[in-house]
Copies of this chain bind each other. A is one copy, B any other.
Amino acid sequence: MTQAQPAPAPAPEGSWLGDALPPVRLTKAQSRVVDALVLNPKLASYADLSEIAAKAEVNGSSVVRTAQALGYRGWPDLQRELRARYLVHISATAPLTHLVEVRSPVHDSLLHDVENLREAVESIDPEAAQAAVDALCSAKRILVVAQGSYAAPAVVLAHLAATMGYPATFEGRSGVHLASAVSSLGPGDVLVVVHLWRSLRQLVTAARRAKEAGATVIAITDLRFGPVARASDHALIVPSEGVYAFQSATAATSVAYGLLAGMEAKEPERVREGLERTSSLWRDFDLYEA
């Protein structure tokens, strides 16, 4: 707990605050509030007005007025800003901090997904990842299923695996289509289920039945002990917190690329041949400009 000395102006740079506190002329009490905020990031991010006031040894109204003097509507408004910066600060390394100045929903989403990817580095079990790669490489057939927006990672995996010459297909429909696709799976085949958030009945059923039929089931999902993960042989757990109402499949998408890279690392020769075959087809189809 530091006694506030009449600070000249809000710390301009160098701190975790960035430009959250514009260089406005502040009064004595207001400087004490700012000092308290700068020195107690955690408190500043989560405490309520009265706690901040106590820490700065000023009256609550001074906290409110400080926030307003800095251009915010009030304390909650300022706190939101501080919280966002603090969270970025403690989890980011140096290069990121200076970027935080650009704020838009798109930038927020990118920064948020950076966190998801970092988390994924921890949540993905390397052994499960390797086991998944091994299974994919030795599969007689690979079926990737997912629904709605979670098709994103699934499409990456299926399309590019096929591009590399693996017998991979994607089924994004449910009902009868999913049923047909799953019914043909058996020993030696691999089913990849991509799903986040609340479990979809049909996907869980697909996983269970495929496993019963002797296929290897790989799950890319966000709940370590959810139904999808439990119905799988190898579960890759990805974080999925999104910036708005939806869960983010960004980390799952990156995992898909990682699996593909793992397949290449394991069977470079086979992949090289597969890619060559595919790209010669691309040439013959004359798909690309220039």
* Complex interface: chain B residues within 8 A of A246 (CB): 160, 163, 257, 260
Given A87-B42, A105-B129, A254 and B262 contact (CB-CB distance below 8 Å): no
Bound form: Cα–Cα A243–B255 in Å: 11
* Complex interface: chain B residues within 8 A of A242 (CB): 40, 257
Is A138 an interface residue when CB atoms closer than 8 A count as contact? no
Given A108-B261, A250-B257, A258-B243, A288 and B155 contact (CB-CB distance below 8 Å): no
Is A83 an interface residue when CB atoms closer than 8 A count as contact? yes
Given A118-B114, A121-B110, A264 and B247 contact (CB-CB distance below 8 Å): no
Given A15-B224, A94-B91, A110-B121, A261 and B39 contact (CB-CB distance below 8 Å): no
Measured CB to CB, the closest approach of chain B to A259, in angstroms, equals: 6
Could you say which of B99, B105, B200, B261 contacts A243, with CB atoms under 8 Å apart? Answer: B261
Bound form: Cα–Cα A9–B138 in Å: 36
By DSSP majority rule, is chain A's interface helix, strand, loop, or mixed?
helix
Measured CB to CB, the closest approach of chain B to A169, in angstroms, equals: 14
Question: Which residues in chain A, 236-290, are within 8 Å of chain B measured between CB atoms?
Answer: 236, 239-251, 253-255, 257-262, 264-265, 275, 286-290
Is A140 an interface residue when CB atoms closer than 8 A count as contact? no
* Complex interface: chain B residues within 8 A of A189 (CB): none
Could you say which of B43, B149, B250, B286 contacts A160, with CB atoms under 8 Å apart? Answer: B149
* Complex interface: chain B residues within 8 A of A93 (CB): 94-95, 98, 118-119, 122
* Complex interface: chain B residues within 8 A of A243 (CB): 257-258, 261
- Can you tell how many copies of this chain the complex includes? 2
Given A104-B258, A224-B11, A287 and B200 contact (CB-CB distance below 8 Å): yes
Contact A156 B249 (CB under 8 A): yes
Contact A105 B290 (CB under 8 A): no
Name which of A54, A113, A248, A259 has the most chain B CB atoms within 10 A of its CB: A113
Is A65 an interface residue when CB atoms closer than 8 A count as contact? no
Q: Which residue of B lies closest to A130 (CB)?
A: B104
- What is the size, in residues, of chain A's interface with B at 8 Å between Cβ atoms? 111
Could you say which of B15, B200, B258 contacts A110, with CB atoms under 8 Å apart? Answer: B258
Is A102 an interface residue when CB atoms closer than 8 A count as contact? yes
Name which of A159, A236, A248 has the most chain B CB atoms within 10 A of its CB: A159
Measured CB to CB, the closest approach of chain B to A173, in angstroms, equals: 13
Measured CB to CB, the closest approach of chain B to A53, in angstroms, equals: 13
Could you say which of B11, B133, B159, B160 contacts A225, with CB atoms under 8 Å apart? Answer: B11
Could you say which of B92, B105, B262 contacts A133, with CB atoms under 8 Å apart? Answer: B105
Contact B159 A155 (CB under 8 A): no
Contact B199 A288 (CB under 8 A): yes
* Complex interface: chain B residues within 8 A of A15 (CB): 123, 224
Given A241-B40, A247-B39, A121 and B126 contact (CB-CB distance below 8 Å): no
